[in-house]
């Protein structure tokens, strides 16, 4: 195994059954592969506000029995604006987060395209080269 990544996990949309089980599975799988895992509280709004914490095995122990999501969720109209996404990206960079895993949310396909619109060397458009 090579050096692990720094991966953020967040939940989006409304609380549904199975979210905590999914969070637990994602975090455990991340640990198994040698990654450092971060929980992003309150979804995309928490990403904008920097509500991000490194998680450990204790964080995910016994969460399957709990309803809702231990990471909480929130609506974020600010993330729909470029300035909000830039704040979110700066916070991810501040924590060294390479990737994010988003669990839930019916608008996820639309939101998933946003990171490619943030000016960053890894997300350059081919015509910019």
Instruction: Encode pLDDT of 39-69 as tens digits.
Output: 999 999 999 999 999 999 988 888 888 887 8
pLDDT at 129 over 80: no
Instruction: Encode pLDDT of 84-126 as tens digits.
Output: 989 999 999 999 998 889 888 766 555 555 554 444 444 444 3
CATH architecture group of domain 14-104: 3-Layer(aba) Sandwich (3.40)
Is 101 in contact with 70 (CB distance < 8 Å)? no
pLDDT of residue 10: 92
Three-class DSSP category at 103: strand
All structural domains of the chain with their residue ranges:
14-104
- How many CA atoms lie less than 13 Å away from 99 in the CB half-sphere? 11
């Amino acid at each position: 195994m090579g050096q692990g990544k720094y991966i953020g996990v967040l939940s989006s949309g409304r609380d549904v059954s199975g979210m905590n089980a999914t969070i637990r599975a994602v975090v455990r799988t991340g640990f198994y592969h040698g990654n450092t895992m971060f929980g992003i509280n309150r979804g995309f709004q928490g990403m904008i506000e920097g509500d991000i914490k490194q998680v450990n095995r204790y964080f995910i122990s016994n969460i399957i029995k709990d309803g809702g999501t231990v990471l909480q969720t929130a609506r974020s109209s600010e993330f729909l604006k470029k300035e909000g996404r830039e704040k979110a990206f700066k916070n991810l960079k501040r924590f060294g987060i390479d990737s994010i895993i988003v669990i839930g949310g019916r608008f996820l396909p639309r939101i998933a395209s946003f990171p490619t619109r943030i000016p960053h060397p890894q997300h350059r458009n081919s015509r910019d080269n």
